Amino acid sequence: MPDKIIGFSKLSRDEKISWVSKNFLDNSDEFKSILNKYLNDDKDIQSIHNSLSENVISNFHLPYSISPNFLINHKNYCIPLVTEESSVVAALSNSSKFWYDRGGFRSKVISKIKTGQVHFKYNGNAENLKKFIKDNEHRLIESTNSISQRMKKRGGGVSKIKLVNKSLELKSYYQLHVEFKTIDSMGANFINSCLEIISKNFKEFLNDSSEFKESEKKIEIIMSILSNYTPECIVESSVECKVDDLGDIDGMPSKEFALKFKDAFDIANVDISRAVTHNKGIMNGIDAVLISTGNDFRAVEAGIHAFASSKGKYKSLSECTITNNMFKINLKIPLSIGTVGGVTDIHPMVKLSLRMLKNPTSDDLMNIISSVGLAQNYAAVKSLVTSGIQKGHMKMHLINLLIKQNATKDQIAKSEDYFRDKDISSQSVKDFLDLN
């Protein structure tokens, strides 16, 4: 076991690689070779990659794919996707093409309020504190002017501050619940900076107040931080058509398909095991766009899954209805994203993605991402209730298995016909290669 290393971040790239190789990879030359192959030849671009994280020794590449024919609010989009799962891109492309001819996706942003909290302990009179916050709300908001002027000019900034009393759940625990509008930026750094200013001035204003006893002025700030739970930053997307206009789906009559499809959605609403996988399918599409546009997919994931549990039980994020022969799927999710600031202004591929999407506002991108999530949801459930999920997935996975076993181009070309009616597995691929 290697000794603890001090000052690793200060080592050069070559020194970091040598240390890892020596202590964890038996001085592997292959390790060093792979790392060098994935470096960008353009030193300026590599410098950007180096600046995005700590202890960078190479780059990790994921496929950058495209899904065309996305008709969203009567506009045709070409969607950039970053994902390692080929079946996701194929499914999205089929789904978007299917709904293009049926009016496309309709989407609207319902609200865009983001929140953060100053968490603190207080042992005085709760009603006095509530009145103090109400009386000083404007003062506290104005105290952020030094960093919020530009945001205010664009129509954003701190919009509301209120006291939340959590002392019945945790002794002496209170929050300043702060609402923000961040316009086209995700606003994480802006929100956190504002919260720290508010917490500092809150203590000072309280200390200067003559309305409290000295003992009541001793509040303890625990932390000031944004929340990734954004139930008031909501977008809603839908597709609909007449049941008859669905047509036969994989040999299944439209009415039979519609009813079976709805059953699958109803199951996801009552069974948590199915709901998790149902929602994961939605996130397959959402995450791929989030990554391609430089957004924080971890934050969005956390917020969306919390939203799925907001009524006390984890449920499906989407719903399917059949009313008066109209088939409709609807998706409603919290989505805190940005199109300016952070990685969106730095990473060349992110900038290209946003350009491909016609430089969307955050509202536009919310509509796009939500629609992609719904498209993936439709594609996944459609496969499940017709041919089964593995048929399409394993067809895509076949190529991965062939590459893994060093198949030639000729063998890969022959594989599609061979496996058309056969089960696909590592062993069946090996058997095929032995024969060919």
Q: Which pLDDT band holds residue 63 (cuts at 50, 70, 90)?
A: very high
Residues 196 and 239 in one domain: no
Residues 292 and 369 in one domain: yes
Beta strand pairing call for 326-334 and 318-323: antiparallel
Helix, strand counts (H, E) of the chain: 15, 10
From the list 40, 129, 95, 109, the residue with the least C-alpha distance to 378 is 95
Residues 356 and 400 in one domain: no
pLDDT at 421: 65
Residues 400 and 431 in one domain: yes
Q: Which of 191, 226, 261 is the last residue of a domain?
A: 226
Query: What digits encode the pLDDT tens for the residues 129-142?
Result: 999 999 999 999 99
Query: What digits encode the pLDDT tens for the residues 282-324?
Result: 999 999 999 999 999 999 999 999 999 999 999 999 999 999 9
Please tell me the distance from the alpha carbon of residue 41 to that of residue 94, in angstroms, as a whole number. 36
Say if 238 falls within a structural domain.
yes
Q: How many CB atoms lie within 10 A of CB 22?
A: 12
Helix, strand or coil, per DSSP, at residue 287: helix
198: CATH: 3.30.70.420
Please count the structural domains in the chain: 4
* Angle at 89 (CA atoms; ends 88, 90), nearest 5 degrees: 95
pLDDT at 434: 77
Query: What digits encode the pLDDT tens for the residues 141-185?
Result: 999 999 999 999 999 999 999 999 999 999 999 999 999 999 999
Q: Which of 226, 256, 275 is the last residue of a domain?
A: 226
Residues 313 and 379 in one domain: yes
Say if 86 falls within a structural domain.
yes
DSSP for 377-435, please give it.
HHHHHHHHHTT-HHHHHHHHHHHHHHHHTT--HHHHHHHHHHTTTS---HHHHHHHHHH
Residues 154 and 81 in one domain: no
pLDDT at 394: 58
Q: Which of 209, 226, 243 is the last residue of a domain?
A: 226
Say if 5 falls within a structural domain.
no
CA torsion through residues 257, 258, 263, 268, sign:
positive
Query: What digits encode the pLDDT tens for the residues 359-404?
Result: 999 999 999 999 999 999 999 999 999 976 555 555 666 777 777 7
From the list 71, 63, 73, 68, the residue with the least C-alpha distance to 94 is 68
Say if 250 falls within a structural domain.
yes
Please tell me the distance from the alpha carbon of residue 161 to that of residue 165, in angstroms, as a whole number. 13
Which domain covers residue 254, as residue numbers?
65-110+232-387
Residues 311 and 172 in one domain: no
Mean pLDDT for the chain overall:
93
Residues 267 and 410 in one domain: no
For the purposes of burial, counting CB atoms within 10 Å of the CB of 233, is it exposed (0-12), middle (13-18) or buried (19 or more)?
Answer: buried
